[in-house]
């Protein structure tokens, strides 16, 4: 043993900071993947949200994303990580305990060759982007103080339940095929965002009718962070730098590129123009659709998933949404329901069809054996009943995530509305960023402004609305 130890190259020798169980390659990749997922939100979604809205809402929209990222991290290490991945006798949620002790963070994570700290950070980045994604349904009118309360409540009562149920030790663990969060992240954010949009209420009518993006170039910049960051999003799920990781990353890009081309083609066929915003939407639906199956389907299946990801959500957003009174009643600002809920459940169903048995075995190599397999391969091997059972699990998981998010998000919004208004008042909605934050995205004096912009230290602080009685307004002088 001693001879084997001393014969190792210096960079691979064990010491107190690099125990025998630690694989430096896996550790380095996992930290990189987690950082890439974090970059999808900050600055990715910060840029995307701040640019995709009307100019008067640029600061507020970007700030909602930044605040949520910070708030989720503190909640995650104080109690939410153990709720989602801790031990419990319950079948839907763990125990609320902190995840900051040295003995916990620097211990080996299960059978994987990396420390628990890697997994805590990686899963935090997942939780943060989920909250920010649902916020895309609420841009342009939600009271920022209500958003500050909504983030920790929804993370605690809704997100952790989905994560524990499917990925933790819940009743759907290793029954549902969800490689990297098609249900846990995207279906839940799309459904919760749509539900919250119903309770918050719509934007002003003029904003619903005319809501042009303020900077399309910055939209492409934010979209670029999302697309490239998804290599860490899906590539980090195996928790190792292995064969499944390589396939997951390649499939992610194949599906996404295919979805963009399909969405772009449909725009050109039916609207006679190629739309940059449409291409970005097609990119997002491709990324979302491949997420539950990235490392467990063949590349030809990833391309087929891209075809459906670029066409099915396109139809629900561009055709069905405009014809449906139900969709018109709810003001989903960025169409998160279509890009995440529709694409997420589509990806979950397709993953249940195309998941390859040998790839599933490789993915679950370090955990308990899984009996899951794709419906297509059960047909080929004469195990149709097994395939129908798997599809039943996929549909049951989608139903549970949908029902839980509708119910819990509604309760959270009702609770917050008893403390603070969910929607900004009409005067603030008319003004936008300057009324909410006292700041503007493009503060160029002389561009239609009557006075120079005031310095922050000369401004009179605004009293938050939750400190004032409902229905009161400042008297006009």
The pLDDT assigned to 365 comes to: 72
pLDDT band at 383 (very low <50, low <70, confident <90, very high): confident
- Determine the Cα–Cα distance for residues 257 and 247; give it in Å rounded to an integer: 16
The pLDDT assigned to 469 comes to: 43
The pLDDT assigned to 52 comes to: 96
CA 4 to chain CA centroid, nearest Å: 45
Mean pLDDT of 310-328: 93
- pLDDT tens string 447-460: 445 455 555 545 55
Mean pLDDT of 429-444: 88
Grouping H, G, I as helix, E, B as strand and the rest as coil, residue 115 is: strand
The pLDDT assigned to 462 comes to: 56
pLDDT band at 174 (very low <50, low <70, confident <90, very high): confident
- pLDDT tens string 110-130: 999 999 999 999 999 999 999
The reported pTM is 0.90
* Percent of the chain topping pLDDT 70: 90
Q: Please, what's the b/e burial string for 269-285 (b: 16 or more CB within 10 A of its CB; e: otherwise)?
A: eeeeeeeeebbbbbbbb
Q: Tokens 């069905």 correspond to what residue?
A: 320
Mean pLDDT of 300-310: 97
Mean pLDDT of 205-230: 95
- pLDDT tens string 247-267: 999 999 999 999 999 999 999
Token readout for 371 is 């009996």
CB distance 170 to 92 below 8 Å? yes
Mean of the per-residue pLDDT values for the chain? 90
The pLDDT assigned to 454 comes to: 53
Alpha-carbon separation of residue 472 from 425, 426, 464, 465 (angstroms): 10, 12, 12, 9
- Closest to 67 measured CA to CA, from 117, 122, 138, 119: 138
pLDDT band at 350 (very low <50, low <70, confident <90, very high): very high
Angle value at C-alpha 61, between 122 and 441, nearest 5 degrees: 120
The pLDDT assigned to 366 comes to: 57
């Amino acid at each position: 043993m001693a001879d084997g130890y001393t014969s190792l190259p210096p960079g691979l020798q064990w010491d107190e900071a690099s125990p025998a169980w630690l694989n430096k390659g896996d550790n380095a990749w996992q930290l990189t993947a987690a950082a890439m997922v974090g970059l999808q939100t900050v600055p990715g979604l910060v840029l995307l949200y701040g640019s995709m809205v009307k100019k008067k809402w640029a600061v507020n929209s970007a700030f909602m994303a930044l605040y949520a990222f910070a708030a989720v991290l503190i909640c995650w290490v104080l109690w939410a990580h153990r709720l989602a991945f801790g031990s419990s006798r319950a079948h839907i949620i763990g125990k609320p305990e902190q995840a900051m002790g040295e003995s916990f963070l620097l211990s080996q994570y299960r059978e994987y060759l990396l420390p628990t700290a890697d997994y805590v950070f990686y899963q935090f980045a997942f939780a943060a982007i989920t909250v920010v994604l649902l916020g895309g349904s609420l841009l342009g009118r939600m009271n920022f103080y209500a958003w500050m309360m909504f983030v920790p409540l929804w993370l605690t009562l809704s997100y952790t339940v989905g994560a524990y149920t499917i990925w933790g030790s819940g009743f759907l663990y290793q029954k549902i095929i969800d490689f990297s969060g098609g249900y846990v992240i995207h279906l839940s954010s799309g459904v919760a965002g749509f539900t919250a949009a119903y309770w918050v209420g719509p934007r002003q009518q003029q904003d619903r009718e005319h809501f042009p993006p303020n900077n399309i170039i910055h939209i492409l910049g934010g979209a670029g962070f999302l697309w490239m960051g998804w290599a860490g999003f899906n590539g980090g799920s195996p928790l190792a730098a292995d064969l499944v990781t390589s396939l997951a990353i390649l499939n992610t890009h194949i599906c996404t590129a295919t979805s963009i081309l399909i969405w772009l083609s449909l725009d050109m066929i039916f609207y006679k123009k190629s739309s940059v915003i449409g291409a970005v939407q097609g990119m997002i639906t491709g990324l979302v659709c491949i997420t539950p199956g990235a490392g467990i389907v063949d590349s030809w299946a990833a391309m087929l998933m891209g075809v459906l990801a670029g066409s099915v959500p396109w139809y629900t957003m561009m055709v069905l949404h405009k014809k449906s009174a139900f969709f018109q009643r709810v003001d989903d600002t960025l169409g998160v329901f279509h890009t995440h809920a529709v694409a997420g459940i589509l990806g979950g169903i397709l993953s249940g069809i195309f998941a390859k048995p040998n790839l599933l075995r490789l993915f679950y190599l370090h955990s308990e054996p899984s009996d899951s397999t794709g419906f297509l391969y059960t047909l080929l091997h004469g195990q149709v009943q097994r395939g129908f059972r798997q599809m039943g699990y996929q549909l049951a998981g989608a139903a549970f995530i949908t029902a839980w998010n509708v119910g819990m998000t509604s309760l959270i919004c009702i609770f917050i509305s008893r403390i603070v208004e969910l929607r900004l008042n009409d005067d603030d909605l008319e003004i936008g960023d300057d009324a909410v934050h006292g700041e503007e995205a493009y503060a160029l004096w002389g561009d239609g402004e009557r006075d120079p912009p005031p310095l922050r230290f000369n401004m009179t602080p605004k009293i938050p609305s939750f400190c004032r009685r409902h229905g009161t307004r400042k008297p006009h002088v």
